[in-house]
Every structure is written in C-alpha cells, then in structure tokens.
Amino acid sequence: MIAVLATKLGALRGGRRLATAFLLGFATILAFPPFSIAPFIWLTFPPLIWLLDGCKTRGRAATVGWAFGFGHFATSFYWITEAFYVDADTFGVFAIPAVALLSAGLAGYIAVAAAVTHFIAPPHEDDMPDERVVTMTLRIILFAAAWTHVEWLRAWIGTGFPWNPMATVWSETRTPYGVPMLQVTTLIGTYGLSLITVFVASLPAVLGYAPRLRRAWVTAAVAPLLIVLIGGAGALRLAQTKTEFVPDIKLRLVQAAIPQAERARQNLWESQLQDYVRLSVADRPADITHVIWGEAALPPLFFVNVDENNRKRLAEAVAPPKGLFITGADRGVRGPKGELEIYNSSYALTPEGDIVGFYDKTHLVPFGEYVPLRWLIPFDKITGGVGDFMRGAGRTAIQTASLPAFSPQICYEIIFSGEVTPSRLGNDSMPPRWILNLTNDSWFGMSTGPRQHYAAARLRAVEEGLPLVRVANSGISAVIDGVGRTVNELGLGQRGVLDVTLPLPPKSSTPFGLLGNLIPILLATLAGSGAFLVGLWITRSRR
C-alpha cells in the first residue's frame, strides 16, 4: 500500500500535483499549537517527498515546494487577518490579500529547499531497492538541511519573520513529549531541532520504494528511535532540574483582557487605565514586590518620559513599596530637527515615579508599527496613531536595585532565536538572569496567533536557559522556568492577575546561550554538504 501511494503521488502532474502539495502544507498546521498533534508530520512530509521525487527538474520541484509552503503559511498566518478587522471599515478589504501575498512570498523559501533537494537526483526505476533507499535517505538529509537554512534566512531577509519554525511542533506542555523534546535546544537551538524534526518527519518516505526491504524498515526506524532518545534525555534533564525561585521577589502580572477595538476608542482610555489600576491593587498580598503590565498598556501618546505629574501619580498608585511598576508605553522625544519621534517602549518606575530603566523596541512590525517604503505606499499603519514608531538602539539588559538583570522583549521580538540577550550582539550590558516579554496580542483575538506566540516564547526560555515572564494584555500571561516548564499561566481572553514568584535560572549557561545559532547552522551545513557529496560520489561511481 505504501509503495502504491508513493508511486501514485510521484506520477501526479500539473495542477493535481500542486493542489496535493498545497493541501499537505495546509494540513501541517495540525502539528502546531494549539492543536499540537506532532505525529501528524508523518502524514504530510513523506507524501511531500514522494511528490518531489516525481519531479524531473529542479524548477518543477521548486513549484511543488512553493505550493506546500503556500498552504503551510496560509494556515500559519491566517490570524493576521484579525488585526485588519479591528478597524474593518478602513483595513478589512486588505486582510485576505495581505495574508495571501505574505504566504505566497514566504513560500518561496520552501521552494528553494525543494529545489536544493533536487541536486541529488531522485531514485531511478532501474535502481536496485537498496540503492533507492540510500538515495532517498541522502535526499531527505539534504532536504532537512536546506529547510533549516531557509528557516534561518527567514529570520534575516527583509525585516525577518521566523514564525512557526518546525521545532514549534514540540512547544506544547499538554503533551507528554513536548517539553522533554525541547531540551535539546539548549545545545542546538530551535533551528537544530527543526533540522531533526524535518528529518524524522520525512524519513519514513524511504518505505515508498522498497516496502519489503529490511534496510528500508531499519532506516525508517531511525525516526522514532531519535525521538525516543532525544525525548528520553530531555525527560531525564527535567527530572534532575528542580525549579527554584528568587527569594523575596513576587510579581503581579496584570491581564485586563480589553478587546482591541475598545482599546482604540479614545473616550474609554481613562476608564481602561483605572481598570488596570484596580486590578493592580485589588486584594494584593503584602509580599507583592513588583507589578507588571503588558505592551502599550498605557493609552497612546501617554509619554511616560515627558508627563512627569501623571507618571508619578500612576506609579504611586500602582508600585508596591520598595518595589517597581513595569509597563509598556510610548516614549516621545524630539529629533535633531525638532520633529516628534515615538518609540514603543517599556519602563521600570519606582513608587516615587522615577524611571530606573527603559527599553525601546528594536525589531518593529512592518505595517503594524511602521510602513516600509512609505514614499511608495500611500497607507497608514493598521495600528493607527501619529506616524511611524522609531527603531530602538538595540538589545540591552535592565538591572535595578530590586530585580536581577532582565532582557526586555516587546511583542514579536521574542520569536527571533538567538537575539533575546545582548551578550552575543556586541552590547556591553550585563548578562540577563531572566527574560521579560511584554506583548499586546489582543489584536489577534482568540485565534491561533497568541498561542503560537506563547510557544515561541517557551523556545527562547529553553534555548537560553533563562526563566521567562510573559505579560499579555489579553493573554496568555505566564511564567516559564529555565527548562520550559510553565510555573503558572492565565489563559487567552481571561481577565485577572497572576501573583507569581520569579524562577532562578539554571546554575550554568547553555551551549546555545554561549554560541547561539552558530551550532545549528554549522550542523545543518555539515549534514547537507555531506549528503550532497556522498550522493555525487554514488552518481559518478554508477557511470
């Protein structure tokens, strides 16, 4: 049956081949949060490999890869349409075309991976069954390596948008295999786990051409064996790592869960601000030392750095004695020519209203926080406001007298692997002891977007070996320890507070925390080039 399916898929041509690839990519979303049916990748990747094997040229392989990528990204990014419908009268008409164009563009990365795979020729019908198994295995290694490289490039080209790397299929705590599988990212990072994931997902394709050959079954068995070994080692690490907490520090995370359409109404800003204040102080235990609000929790154009009187009144009302009030807010300054420059920032305020630390968001969202090529595009950003946000000076760590140094990350900055700490980025800041991610996912309602954003944050915690505190205006607010376990969380759309202690980081830095993406990219390069050279040698030896 496997051989029949492989033969039929390999024989598809034209529109039927592209439609099948699209549907396979479309269905792959079931492996990602919030569905998190990770084994589903074994139902979509082997058929993709068989489709690619039926392509006679690299160009045709690229079109199959593009169709798969288009389907995959269309389901991965559908939640972006929610932001357009917040102001549906103005932007609603652009929602579907914008997501379609984004998905079609990013599908080009998968097209490249598929084309690269064709540098090793598909098995020939005259080949012996064992030769087919070897060829298929080499092609799968090259495919996984190419996929890993384009995932990494997706984080850099243009403004970068590395949403839903394949490693994300494991970033779910409701499944027994999720967090254990993530532990390998402490060594090889998210892209390294993506390399392994694509490899094990595709490897059963070797059964398609030699279903009765013992070598084929032995080769295919490597996939579950790798999962067992990596997951088992991860489970052992988790069992040996106890979650410990910073003494004398307790945080209150405030999640007001105000719908974005209401947050945009100026006549409600004052009542919404008072709502945040009430949540911050209501039934607050005496041991709360810090209160934290999410990204842009303060009304637009409330420039904390300028409006000293209101800043002090707010801090006095919210900040615990001898503690801090941390919030997201706009920062306004005058540029060299007197023009107003606005930054999406986070602040740390004392009870007296003194600013003891701030951070300006560095990685801005195109069309959400600024309009690229504004001279060419006659539209305002979909979030409204006065002009574009300015880009911050770069990653940093904030240290105060009452908190260990932390790395501030605003919104989707947390999705960039290897970029959440300043030490590897030429910054002189002290190494952080934890990560603080302030975000406003209310733009995306109850869609999959906030859940996948949360999954990305978990990956950063495990990679770096640092606890992560996530404060989202509409959820999911949570505290995750340095090995990826959820200490506590407040679900999507829930209104309330979390009173939580701050986990201590593990006693030593992770290899990824020291070397970053050098390890996974080198690993993928060695695997891909090795497979290509062996495949080239086999081809020449047959002539």
Q: Average of pLDDT values for 514-519?
A: 92
In this structure, the answer to whether residues 196 and 64 fall within a common structural domain is yes
SS3 content of the chain, % helix, strand, coil (to 5): 50, 15, 35
In this structure, the answer to whether residues 521 and 485 fall within a common structural domain is no
- What digits encode the pLDDT tens for the residues 421-445? 876 545 555 789 999 999 999 889 8
Task: State both tokens at 371.
Answer: 């309009």
- Alpha-carbon distance of 440 to 365, in angstroms, equals 13
Predicted local confidence at residue 517, as pLDDT? 94
Q: In the predicted model, is pLDDT for residue 348 greater than 70?
A: yes
In this structure, the answer to whether residues 186 and 281 fall within a common structural domain is no
In this structure, the answer to whether residues 266 and 353 fall within a common structural domain is yes
CATH of the domain at 317: 3.60.110.10
Query: Per the domain annotation, does 510 fall within a domain?
Result: no
Residues 188 and 520 sit within 8 Å (Cβ to Cβ): yes
- Rounded to two decimals, the pTM is 0.93
Half-sphere exposure of 201 (CA within 13 A, CB side): 28
Q: How many domains does the chain have?
A: 2
Q: Average of pLDDT values for 107-129?
A: 88
Which of 55, 151, 172, 411 is flagged as catalytic?
Answer: 411
Window from 64-78, 455-469, 506-520, 528-542 with minimum mean pLDDT: 528-542
Residues 378 and 126 sit within 8 Å (Cβ to Cβ): no
- What digits encode the pLDDT tens for the residues 211-252? 667 777 888 888 999 999 999 999 999 999 999 999 999 999
- Cα distances from 71 to residues 77, 102, 158, 284, 439, in angstroms, run 10, 12, 22, 48, 28
Closest among 171, 189, 215 to 454, alpha carbons compared: 171
Q: Is 295 a known active-site residue?
A: yes
* Strands lying side by side in the sheet with 355-360: 355-360, 340-349, 324-334, 290-292, 245-255, 496-503
Paired residues of 407 in beta bridges? 435
In this structure, the answer to whether residues 149 and 297 fall within a common structural domain is no
Predicted local confidence at residue 388, as pLDDT? 82
Which of 82, 151, 172, 295 is flagged as catalytic?
Answer: 295
- Alpha-carbon distance of 496 to 484, in angstroms, equals 23
Query: Per the domain annotation, does 512 fall within a domain?
Result: no
In this structure, the answer to whether residues 338 and 217 fall within a common structural domain is no
- What digits encode the pLDDT tens for the residues 393-405? 888 889 888 899 9
Residue 253 binned pLDDT confidence (cut-offs 50, 70, 90) = very high
- Alpha-carbon distance of 443 to 466, in angstroms, equals 28
In this structure, the answer to whether residues 305 and 400 fall within a common structural domain is yes
User: What end-to-end distance do the CA atoms of the chain give, in Å?
Assistant: 33
In this structure, the answer to whether residues 205 and 59 fall within a common structural domain is yes
- What digits encode the pLDDT tens for the residues 349-376? 999 999 999 999 998 888 777 777 665 6
Query: Per the domain annotation, does 298 fall within a domain?
Result: yes
Q: Average of pLDDT values for 440-460?
A: 93
Q: In the predicted model, is pLDDT for residue 60 greater than 70?
A: yes
Looking at residue 320, the DSSP 8-state letter turns out to be P
Half-sphere exposure of 93 (CA within 13 A, CB side): 2
Query: Per the domain annotation, does 91 fall within a domain?
Result: yes
- Alpha-carbon distance of 43 to 28, in angstroms, equals 8
Q: Is 411 a known active-site residue?
A: yes
Residue 392 binned pLDDT confidence (cut-offs 50, 70, 90) = confident
Query: Per the domain annotation, does 338 fall within a domain?
Result: yes
Q: Is 312 a known active-site residue?
A: no
Query: Per the domain annotation, does 511 fall within a domain?
Result: no
In this structure, the answer to whether residues 424 and 522 fall within a common structural domain is no
- What digits encode the pLDDT tens for the residues 140-178? 999 999 999 999 999 999 888 999 999 999 987 677 778
- Mean pLDDT across the chain: 90
Predicted local confidence at residue 423, as pLDDT? 62
Task: State both tokens at 396.
Answer: 């940093």
In this structure, the answer to whether residues 105 and 210 fall within a common structural domain is yes
In this structure, the answer to whether residues 482 and 536 fall within a common structural domain is no
How many of the other CB atoms lie within 10 Å of CB of 35? Answer: 14
Residue 290 binned pLDDT confidence (cut-offs 50, 70, 90) = very high
- Alpha-carbon distance of 200 to 3, in angstroms, equals 19
Residue range(s) defining the domain that contains residue 196: 2-240+517-542
Q: Average of pLDDT values for 177-205?
A: 95
User: Could you tell me which residue, 367 or 114, shows the higher pLDDT?
Assistant: 114
Residue 72 one-letter amino acid: H
Query: Per the domain annotation, does 210 fall within a domain?
Result: yes
Which of 172, 250, 361, 419 is flagged as catalytic?
Answer: 361
Q: Average of pLDDT values for 502-519?
A: 90
Query: Per the domain annotation, does 347 fall within a domain?
Result: yes
Q: In the predicted model, is pLDDT for residue 518 greater than 80?
A: yes
Q: In the predicted model, is pLDDT for residue 481 greater than 90?
A: yes
Window from 13-22, 121-130, 319-328 with minimum mean pLDDT: 121-130
Residues 195 and 145 sit within 8 Å (Cβ to Cβ): yes
In this structure, the answer to whether residues 338 and 198 fall within a common structural domain is no
